[in-house]
Amino acid sequence: MIVVPPQLAATQIKFNKEAGRAFVAALPELTASFVDRWELRITGTPLHGVSALVVPVDRADGTPAMLKLQLRDHESEGEPVALRRWDGDGAVRLLDHDEPTGTMLLERLDSSRMLSRVADPQEGVLVIARLLARLHVAPAPAGMRRLDDIARRMLQRTPAALERIPDPESRRLVADCAAAVREVVDEPGDRLLHWDLHDENVLAADRAPWLAIDPKPLVGDPGFDLWPALANPFRADDVLRRFDAMTEVLGLDRARARAWTYGRVLQNCLWETEEGRPLDDTDLEIARRLRRA
């Protein structure tokens, strides 16, 4: 019987309300059912992020793996599809998957060697850019959520959000982000994006120096994938240096990449405003730094 970490329970309830509460309550039994079904043996203490429980296991043949259990939603449901398409090239390899629950069996990487712990942030950004270059090569599978749909909905939500932002300078920044997205929304791109590749979602492995984990994939422009490495870890003076490094490695048009990075800032600001929370200073500063450039 596994014990659900209190931090995971708290974030599930905070972000997913009753669905999160139900997921947390079902986790011990759900874990046990997949251990039995896939003939696994639990070999370590469960790990967790904001939304998933990850349990170290061995398969029946002794192969080490990780059992990942998470609430299936519009972001996570594309994860196994993307991992199959990448097939271990730049990302963790998918070993098994249960469609109804979204539960996955993944290859075991080295969780003690996370990019955030062993690399200088500037070198870490180059690692992330090189991984993104590999991930973006893959043609996007049919049926995945698309950036053009997301961007158009963001633009529809922007006027109401602007009315709820009291600070004039912040309101102007968010409006500028929306204006930039409006310029590129008709060319949303067709690459398979990770959406959340920062230095805590990159682990070392025996078969490769670094591999990406925990994608929330969608189809779109590679510029929409840059924001996580600008914000994690956040250093205001590094924003432009990191942006330049990533656009160079990825061979991106800087103006388009900047516009889609504004799109990520807009996405975050809409979430905060609609939840009644203050805008994040990191997002606002990233927008300021890119605008000055």
Q: Which of 148, 196, 214, 225 is catalytic?
A: 196
Residue 14 has which token pair? 């905070």
Instruction: Report the SS3 class of residue 23.
Output: helix
Closest Cα partner for 236 from 283, 191, 187, 274?
283
Note if 283 is an active site residue.
no
Cα separation, 55 vs 196, in Å, equals 21
- Among 136, 287, 137, 138, CA closest to 225: 136
**How much is the CA Rg of the chain, to the nearest whole Å?**
19
Q: Which stretches within the chain are classed as H helix?
A: 6-37, 79-86, 115-118, 121-135, 147-163, 168-184, 227-231, 239-250, 254-274, 281-292
Q: Which residues sit opposite 203 in a β-bridge?
A: 114, 211
Residue 114, H or E segment: strand 110-114
Q: List the one residue out of 223, 224, 227 whose CA is nearest residue 257.
A: 223
What is the maximum span of the chain, computed from C-alpha positions, in angstroms? 62
Reply yes or no: is the peptide bond before residue 233 cis, omega within 30 of 0. Answer: yes
**Residue 178 to residue 127: CA distance in whole angstroms:** 30
Tokens 């997949």 locate to: 34
Q: Identify whether the C-beta of residue 131 lies closer than 8 Å to the C-beta of residue 202.
A: yes
Residues that are catalytic = 196
